[in-house]
Amino acid sequence: MPYRSVNPATGELLKTFPEHTNEQMLVALDAADKAFHVWSATPIGERSKIMNKATQLLLERKEELARLATLEMGKRIAESRGEVDLSAAILKYFAENAESFLAPKSLNSIMGDAHLELSPIGVLLSIQPWNYPYYQLARFVGPHLMSGNVMLLKHAPGVPQCAVAFEKVLQDAGFPRGVYTNLFLSNDQAGALIDDPRVKGIALTGSERAGEALASRAGKNLKKSTMELGGSDAFIVLDDADLDHTVAMAILGRFGNNGQTCIGAKRFIVVKPMLEKFLARFIEAAKALKLGNPLDENVTLGPLSSDSALELILRQINEAASHGAQVLLGGKRMGNVGAFLEPTVLTNVKPDNPAYKQEFFGPVALIFPAKDEDEAIAIANDSPFGLGGSVYSTNIERAKRVASSIDTGMVFINYPDVSWPDLPFGGIKRSGYGKELSNLGLEEFVNKKLILVPNMPATTR
């Protein structure tokens, strides 16, 4: 099945790419396996120079890359530029910091002189989604190429031009052949790679269903994996929140990237003294969003990534309404051309409603009233997901206390979840496992080898 590049704002087919054959896939795997032995022995200073060159090329090609992302998945052009900037920042961060992250780490042991050495493990398989077509790649490439690993990359079928353009940046930066290879593969082919003993680790950002299948297969092969499987992040508004700031952050957190963000604010849990005022202001601000062509600099909300994504979320909205949810705003497709959804606000979503524990991957906000702080925490934790979340209060110590009570991988105070190179990224529960970015992300796919010089005579056991 070919990889298809379709403009979700117009429905126009832009380009198609055939899948790689099994033979081509195995040739790429063999090249990666051979490249690992060379790349892992390359001094880290040389790796850093090449990574810094890739950083420079990303910034030089920002307009070209941003336009491709907007055309392929509908991201507003300003957000596409921001994504390229973030991707460059990630590569630069690991180019500058990997050497210290990988330095031997002394251990305070009564057994003697002990330390850990961090070394790469080999060929990694990375399977990435369409919603951030460069950032998703950069947050894997930055740490794991700098640590000396090499990788095969299966990108989402909807963003093939972005996949090719990113690979070209790395090639032009000077990464040797086999260190990073983009492959257009089927799910069955990706599974076959997991089974191959030359592949040592697997990283997925995707759906729960994909995570279940790939984690199971990785486990069967006794291979390390990391999984980022989405979320339904809580946005908790306490009774002492700054309303102007909170509403602005709510719009940013829910409608940024056209609502298609794993760490987007999705469940708005508002204590009752603030509910009426927050809801009125939030709906007013959502109504003011301007839907349209994401290449238009004045547009503030673009399309969903595809017609199939739009159809899925419309089914979710209709199912939620049929189980008692109230649609306060939107809920319908806009126009007949393009995958546009009106900004949507749902309330009265009870625990027996299927929507209560679903992820809405688009511009849909679910509103939950809470009688007090304790109930807000309980609602936030009553979710199968645990990726991120945020808390809004003018009392920072109170907000920190609430944040500490939320069962999730990340919590932000008075700001929606964001990603940055030096912040560890990852979740718990059905949002997956493992960390990306920061030193913790780099350490996911290295061998932490203990070396000990004992200070005592050998004994028999």
CB atoms inside a 10 Å sphere around CB 43: 9
Same domain, 23 and 111: yes
Examine the residue annotation and report whether 262 is marked as an active-site residue of this protein. yes
Q: Do 194 and 92 fall into the same domain? A: yes
Query: In whole angstroms, what is the distance from residue 41 CA to residue 256 CA?
Result: 42
Query: What per-residue confidence (pLDDT) applies to 457?
Result: 74
Is position 392 within any domain? yes
Whether 227 and 433 have beta carbons less than 8 Å apart is answered as yes
Q: Indicate whether 324 and 443 sit together in one domain.
A: no
Task: Give mean pLDDT, residues 94-119.
Answer: 97
Tell me what the mean pLDDT of segment 294-304 comes to: 98
Q: Are residues 7 and 34 in the same domain?
A: yes
Residue 460: per-residue pLDDT: 55
Query: Tens of pLDDT along 21-45?
Result: 999 999 999 999 999 999 999 999 9
Q: Which of 228, 342, 359, 373 is catalytic?
A: 228
248 to 77, 230, 242, 292, 439: CA distances (angstroms): 20, 23, 10, 21, 32
Section 393-410 average pLDDT: 98
The verdict on residue 376 lying in a domain is: yes
Residues 89 and 210 in one domain: yes
Is 423 a domain residue?
Answer: no
Residues 288 and 328 in one domain: yes
373 tagged catalytic: no
Q: Please report whether residue 420 resides in a domain.
A: no
The answer to whether the CB of 262 falls within 8 A of the CB of 205 is: yes
Q: Is residue 24 part of a domain?
A: yes
Question: Dihedrals φ, ψ of 255, to 5°?
Answer: -105, -5
Same domain (yes/no): 152, 286: no
CA atoms within 13 A on the CB side of 376: 29
Other beta carbons less than 10 A from residue 452's beta carbon: 12
- Predicted confidence at residue 458, as pLDDT, reads 65
- Give the pLDDT mean for 110-117: 96
Give yes or no: residues 211 and 242 share one domain: no
The answer to whether the pTM exceeds 0.95 is yes
In-domain check, residue 426: no
Cα 381 to chain centroid distance, Å, stands at: 21
Domain CATH for 144: 3.40.605.10
- Reply yes or no on whether the pLDDT at 249 is more than 70: yes
For Cα atoms 386, 327, 250, give the angle at the middle one, nearest 5 degrees.
Answer: 45
Element (H, E) at 265: strand 265-271
d(CA 119, CA 103): 10
The mean per-residue pLDDT over the stretch 48-69 comes to 98
Residues 166 and 183 both lie in one domain: yes
Q: 72-91: per-residue pLDDT in tens? A: 999 999 999 999 999 999 99
Residue 95 predicted with pLDDT over 70? yes
Confidence of residue 2 (pLDDT cuts 50, 70, 90): confident
Give me the percent of the chain exceeding a pLDDT of 70: 99
67 φ/ψ angles, rounded to the nearest 5 degrees: -60, -40
Tens of pLDDT, residue by residue over 118-159, are 999 999 999 999 999 999 999 999 999 999 999 999 999 999
In a domain, 258, yes or no: yes
Examine the domain organization and report whether 98 and 118 are in the same domain: yes
| Paired tokens of 339 | 């995958």
Mean pLDDT of 98-108: 97
Q: How far apart are CA 365 and CA 433, in angstroms?
A: 26
Say how far apart CA 425 and CA 16 lie, in whole Å.
33
29 shares its domain with 115 = yes
For 320-342, the pLDDT digits (tens) are: 999 999 999 999 999 999 999 99
Q: Are residues 289 and 183 in the same domain?
A: no
Q: What is the pLDDT of residue 245?
A: 98
Element (H, E) at 268: strand 265-271
Rounded mean pLDDT, 10-26:
97
In the chain, how many domains are there? 2
- What's the pLDDT at 459? 63
pLDDT digits (tens, 9 = 90+) for 178-236: 999 999 999 999 999 999 999 999 999 999 999 999 999 999 999 999 999 999 999 99
Give the structural domain span for 385.
Answer: 233-413
- In the chain, what is the greatest distance between 2 CA atoms, to the nearest angstrom? 80
Q: Give residue 461's pLDDT.
A: 55
C-alpha distances out from residue 438 to 140, 303, 394, 425, Å: 11, 32, 29, 8
Query: Which residue in 262, 342, 359, 436 is the catalytic one?
Result: 262
CATH number, domain with residue 295: 3.40.309.10
**Per-residue pLDDT, 1:** 74
